[in-house]
Amino acid sequence: MTGQSNRTIVQAARVYLRVSTDEQDLARQESIVAGARAAGFYVAAVYREKASGARSDRPELLRMVADLQPGEVVVAEKIDRISRLPLPEAELLVATIRGKGARLAVPGIVDLSDLVADSAGVARIVLEAVQDMLLRVALQTARDDYETRRERQREGIEIAKRAGRYTGRKPDLAHHRRIIGLREAGMSIARTAELAGCSIAQVKRVTAVHRARMAVGSGLDVTVTDGEL
């Protein structure tokens, strides 16, 4: 058409990669970046995180949401990479993403955005309702899967205990590093516990152990008291 540009509009994407623990590897998800580019997206940034999807205070997730610009797309391997939160929290997260003018491009999530944009009246209302329903089902499924895994883990521990094979839970080093990082950033014990999703007692224990190790490394003679624990 005369006077109209024929240039193709390239959408920007922000890719979010997540695994739950330090023992897991993000490399398997790296192909998502290439896949996004192959699909025609300009990859504005890649956010890599090792944290539970059941946590709402993941630093890279929060950074991604803060970076989002209108018209951008959030790309992830599956919806459970974005969230394994309880449904109300998961819906709030998605609403925040949408509130930035962005949308999700995640396998298994039917995206009706283009149809909604081209519709009006009752048709638009119906399409929006269907989109919200499909997303709600996906978010709830991700949470249910998380709860099922947790229950199986608890059952496995009980069986191991009864058989005398349970050796205890390995320390969550990533979680401990987060606690130390928050404390070193000047957060109070109570605020650290809130942000890290743990008890005040655990914050005190982890902090005390960290201080003791630092003291040993510097050659100081330090005794960790019960009050510090």
Distance CA 129, CA 62 (A): 27
Distance CA 147, CA 130 (A): 26
Measured from the Cβ of residue 121, the count of other Cβ atoms closer than 10 Å reads 7
Distance CA 150, CA 145 (A): 9
Q: Which residue has the tokens 């969230």?
A: 83
119 is catalytic: no
Record the tokens describing residue 183, joined without a space.
């404390």
Choosing from 20, 56, 113, 119, the catalytic residue is: 20
Contact 11, 71 (CB under 8 A): yes
Catalytic residue annotation = 20
